[in-house]
């Protein structure tokens, strides 16, 4: 098996006009990660050490997206849309310097698995110079056909528009994914002509050129769904559904209970421990880590949060980035938490906003508690010590620090620090005006 570095060229220069979007097509997201990000993650997982991304002119957003997933990747621009072979040659510099295997991938196939790339590498190790990934489909209309000889070697790829009637009956189709182990790929690419109906330089023609040069090309067959190319938003939604089905099955096989699997939506990087239970209609954004034994009740939205073991969340809870829940904590219905460190066994059962702060272990946060963290210009933090009790309908105006074992009376607006073990109250005196309500009601009924 080769130990030489592998170069992955990811073609991402297509305009994607059928997406009807101002964004380049590979920027559209699947499970909270761009399609380009998915493909780059796949090649990295497969052990490919060098990545080059081919983009079109004025695609600075896509260039920046590539760098977020690999600061060491190289980005090349294809000035004109002259076909896939022309796109590959846009990375001529990278091709000329590279001495190992070369993979050609597409940024709009986010369901491609690293296991498939490893299977391709194994086929190269068995003596193939070129490997093409194909799939079998009941309706091959529009796809290039893979033409093989009697020994099963690939001798040509014929685009649908160029194929004969006999060739169109072939149901083994080209996915576009290719890999090369040959001495001079640039020389082979330069032999490709554009004498076809679209006047484009098809990368697929390289197989026939290799066959004429007595180089061996082989086919690796994969599942059609894995090779799904996304060209419009309906296909994006279909790919999202396929991805979610895969991850739901995976988490359940790893010890997570999904009460209604089809109603739970994960991000690409959701991490779940064992014996986690998730009720219906729960949505995960990116950056969520959940420890063992957590119970998440229905209709909660969680992103960028860390949840400790045996904690309880929901129903109708929103956890935003930076929320950290300690073990055995309880965050209940209509509680929103953001950038707050919540200690062990803390209870905030309902109707509160906890933003920018810390809550010590075994504290109780009453209904209607608000961390007033924003002064109109800057964010400030609220600190609550261990074993404190915050009465209902309390506003804590940051920056403010409450000590250990503090009790805050209901309805208070706390603007000053509170020492350990102190009861803090902030209320106006209660005034009674006897008979006022009766007289007011009588007056209003007369007017009505």
154: nearest Cα among 137, 175, 138, 140: 175
Q: Are 257 and 277 in contact (CB under 8 A)?
A: yes
Question: Nearest 10 degrees: CA dihedral of 330, 335, 340, 341?
Answer: 0
Helix (H) or strand (E) holding 114: helix 114-125
Residue of 28, 98, 328, 350 marked catalytic: 350
Strands (E) across 79-228 are located at 102-106, 130-136, 145-148, 154-158, 172-180, 217-221
Question: Are 266 and 284 contacting, i.e. CB atoms less than 8 angstroms apart?
Answer: yes
Please state, in angstroms and as integers, the Cα–Cα distance from residue 65 to each residue in 8, 30, 193, 341, following that order.
17, 14, 33, 31
User: In 3D, which of 300, 284, 232, 307 has the Cα closest to residue 33?
Assistant: 284
Q: Is 350 a catalytic residue?
A: yes
C-alpha distance from residue 445 to each of 433, 434, 439, 442 (Å):
20, 19, 10, 5
Question: Cα separation of 324 and 329, whole Å?
Answer: 10
- Residue 190 has phi, psi (to 5 degrees) of -70, -15
Residues with a catalytic annotation lie at: 350
């Amino acid at each position: 098996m080769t130990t030489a570095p592998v170069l992955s060229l990811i073609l991402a220069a297509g305009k994607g006009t059928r997406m009807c979007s101002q964004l380049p097509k590979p920027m559209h997201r699947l499970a909270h990660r761009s399609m380009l990000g998915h493909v780059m993650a796949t090649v990295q997982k497969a052990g490919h050490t060098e990545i080059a991304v081919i983009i079109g002119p004025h695609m600075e957003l896509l260039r920046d997206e590539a760098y977020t997933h690999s600061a060491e990747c190289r980005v090349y621009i294809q000035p004109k849309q002259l076909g896939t072979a022309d796109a590959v040659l846009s990375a001529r510099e990278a091709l000329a310097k590279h001495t190992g295997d070369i993979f050609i991938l597409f940024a709009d196939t986010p369901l491609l698995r690293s296991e498939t790339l490893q299977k391709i590498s194994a086929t190269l190790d068995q003596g193939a110079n070129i490997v093409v990934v194909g799939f079998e489909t009941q309706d091959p209309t529009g796809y290039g056909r893979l033409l093989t000889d009697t020994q099963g070697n690939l001798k040509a790829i014929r685009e649908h528009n160029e194929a004969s009637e006999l060739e169109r009956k072939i149901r083994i189709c080209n996915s576009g994914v290719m890999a090369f182990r040959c001495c001079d790929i640039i020389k082979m690419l330069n032999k490709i002509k554009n004498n076809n109906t679209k006047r484009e330089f098809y990368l697929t023609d390289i197989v026939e050129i290799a066959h004429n040069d007595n180089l061996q090309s082989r086919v690796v067959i994969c599942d059609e769904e894995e090779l799904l190319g996304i060209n419009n938003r309906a296909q994006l939604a279909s790919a999202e559904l396929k991805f979610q089905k895969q991850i739901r099955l995976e988490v359940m096989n790893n010890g997570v209970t999904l009460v209604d699997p089809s109603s739970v939506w994960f991000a690409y990087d959701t991490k779940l421990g064992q014996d986690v239970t998730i009720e219906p209609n729960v949505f995960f954004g990116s950056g969520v880590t959940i420890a063992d034994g957590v119970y998440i009740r229905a209709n909660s939205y969680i992103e960028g949060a860390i949840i400790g073991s045996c904690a309880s969340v929901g129903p109708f809870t929103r956890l935003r980035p930076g929320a950290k829940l300690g073990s055995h904590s309880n965050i209940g219905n209509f509680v929103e938490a953001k950038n707050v460190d919540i200690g062990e066994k803390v209870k905030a059962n309902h109707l509160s906003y906890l933003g920018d702060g810390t809550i010590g272990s075994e504290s109780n946060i009453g209904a209607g508690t608000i961390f007033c963290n924003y002064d109109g210009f800057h964010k400030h933090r609220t600190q609550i010590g261990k074993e404190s009790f915050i009465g209902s309908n309390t506003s804590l105006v940051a920056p403010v620090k409450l000590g250990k074992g503090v009790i805050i009376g209901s309805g208070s607006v706390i603007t000053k620090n509170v020492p350990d073990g102190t009861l803090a109250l902030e209320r106006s005196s209660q005034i009674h005006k006897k008979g006022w309500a009766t007289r007011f009601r009588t007056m209003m009924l007369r007017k009505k």
